[in-house]
Amino acid sequence: MDLPMGLQLASPDVVLDGVDQRLMNYVAHLGMVHRLLFGKDLVITSGKEGKHVQNSFHKLGRAVDARTEDKDPEEQLVFMTVVSFSAPAQGVAVFDERSQSDPKHVHFELHGD
Ligand SMILES: [Zn+2]
């Protein structure tokens, strides 16, 4: 798959082939907004590859993770505001998985049929 403008993969292990097109459309738009806001690509840290035993949405091609640790706290606040505001209308749920022990990413998953 050609990577949409504004997106980068964290590593060659990240698989976006087979990710639901509606979720890809959302993430592609988000990548462009990310470039506009922060001057750099949105980095996808996980897609459909099989590392997520406890979260089947990844295996189903209905979830992607995006990097947060490449943004400073103020930028992260802007980013989380943008995704919280924009994702629900696209059927995408946002899980803020940042924590003290793992501040690395946020999880997006596609809900509905
Ligand atoms: Zn995830």
User: Is the Cα torsion angle 106, 31, 53, 101 positive or negative in sign?
Assistant: negative
% of the chain with per-residue pLDDT over 70: 94
More confident residue, 98 or 26: 26
Distance 47 CA to ligand 1 centre (A): 8
pLDDT at 54: 63
pLDDT at 113: 81
Residue carrying structure tokens 């003290």: 100
CATH code, 7-110: 3.30.1380.10
Domain boundaries, the chain: 7-110
**How far is Cα 113 from Cα 108, in angstroms, rounded to an integer?**
16
Would you say residue 1 has pLDDT above 90? Answer: no
pLDDT at 56: 82
- Please report which helix (H) or strand (E) contains residue 66, including its range: strand 63-67
Tokens of 110: 């596609």
3-state class (DSSP) for residue 25: helix
- Over residues 46-63, mean pLDDT: 82
More confident residue, 103 or 53: 103
* Residues within 5 Å of ion ligand 1, judged at the Cβ atom: 65, 107
Distance 39 CA to ligand 1 centre (A): 24
More confident residue, 56 or 47: 47
Max intra-chain CA distance, the chain: 36
Name the pLDDT band for 55 (thresholds 50, 70, 90).
Answer: low
pLDDT at 49: 87
Please provide residue 93's backbone torsions phi and psi, each rounded to the nearest 5 degrees.
-95, 145
Q: Are strands 7-9 and 105-110 parallel, antiparallel or unpaired?
A: unpaired
Distance 41 CA to ligand 1 centre (A): 19
